[in-house]
Amino acid sequence: MLNKLTASELVLNEDGSVYHLNLLPEDIAEKIILVGDPDRVAKVSKYFDSVEIRKNKREFYTHTGTLRGERITVMSTGIGTENIDIVMNELDALVNIDLKQKEFKTEHTSLKLFRMGTCGSVNPDVQVDNMLVTQNVVGLDGLMHFYQDYHFENEFSKNFYEKFPYENIKPMLYFSEWSEELGELYKDAKYHGNTATFPGFYAPQGRQLRLKALDDQFLETLNDLGITNFEMETSAIYAFSKLLGHKAITVNNVIANRRRGEFSSDHHASEKNLIEWVLERIIK
């Protein structure tokens, strides 16, 4: 490579770790569980045989250890795709950039990324306290429009884009899909669906406290376009994985049924179920 990355492009801490995640290349495994909530990290790593790395900075908490003899990492991303921009670029840098030389490596390493989160359903029949695997995703957060080479289209996205009625939001839309290979691991989930990822929890997801949302019919409209559930990270995780050559899959616990106005009566119990269900399937 001709040009080295500058110090302001690839920002490192004094110990050579990547700026926000605060990690060195040897701190992560190639299988990584991504959770939103920092408190979920220890709830996952308590199942590991042992934990060798515990590091954190801001909302990014990382534990790496082994489970049934296999090396595995669990990391919190915090909330939102703007954090996923950081997580995906810095994780990729840890494996595909020589941090000391600040040059791209010639050999590519592909990570396996498993998001384990929570979501709200907009299909009235998708019940709370069940797991929903994201097959297709639409990002309404606009992030990938800042990257030159990103474009993804399939039958789902073409239909969604054509019929999406909100002209002011339409320019922000981008699409992606799961890694089919990782999807095989989650074949027996209760639900498989199409997820909408939003840049907010309230009006962007049709919630109205003291402020009115764009349209009273927002949930129904998105459900009519084939959307099953809402959350705040998957579009960017899937899109970056396609761009950077990683594999990703999301399974979320449905904690809210937005059409019926229901919220999980014990989301801690369903979170525990989800953790055990995922670990059972990703480490044989």
Give the H/E segment covering residue 229: strand 229-231
CA dist., res. 79 & res. 36, Å (int):
6
- Min separation Cβ 256 and ligand R1P, Å: 9
The residues that bridge with 116 in the sheet, in sequence order, are 251
Residue nearer to ligand R1P on the CB measure, 59 or 70: 59
- Min separation Cβ 79 and ligand R1P, Å: 4
Residue nearer to ligand R1P on the CB measure, 53 or 79: 79
Site for ligand URA, residues 133 to 172, rule: CB under 6 A = none
Give the H/E segment covering residue 139: strand 131-139
- Residue 222: contacted member of ligand URA, ligand R1P, none (CB under 5 to 8 Å, by partner type): none
CA dist., res. 139 & res. 284, Å (int):
32
Contacting positions for ligand R1P (CB under 6 A): 35-37, 79, 117-118, 201, 231-233
Q: Say whether residue 129 binds ligand URA (CB under 6 A).
A: no
- Min separation Cβ 34 and ligand URA, Å: 14
Residue nearer to ligand URA on the CB measure, 17 or 252: 252
Q: Say whether residue 29 binds ligand URA (CB under 6 A).
A: no
- Rg of the chain on CA atoms, in Å: 19
In angstroms, the Cα distances linking 9 to 4, 5, 12 are 10, 6, 9
Residue nearer to ligand R1P on the CB measure, 2 or 209: 209
Neighbours of 65 (CB within 10 A): 19
Which residues neighbour 6 within 8 Å (Cβ) at sequence distance 6 or greater? 102
Which residue, judged by CB position, is nearest to ligand R1P in the bound state? 36
Name the nearest CA neighbour of 48 among 267, 275, 205. 275
By DSSP bridging, strand 31-35 and strand 112-121 are: parallel
- Residue 120: contacted member of ligand URA, ligand R1P, none (CB under 5 to 8 Å, by partner type): ligand URA
Q: Say whether residue 230 binds ligand URA (CB under 6 A).
A: yes
Q: Say whether residue 118 binds ligand URA (CB under 6 A).
A: yes
Q: Which residue do the tokens 């999980």 mark? A: 264
List of residues contacting ligand URA (CB under 6 A):
118-120, 201, 205, 230-232, 255-256
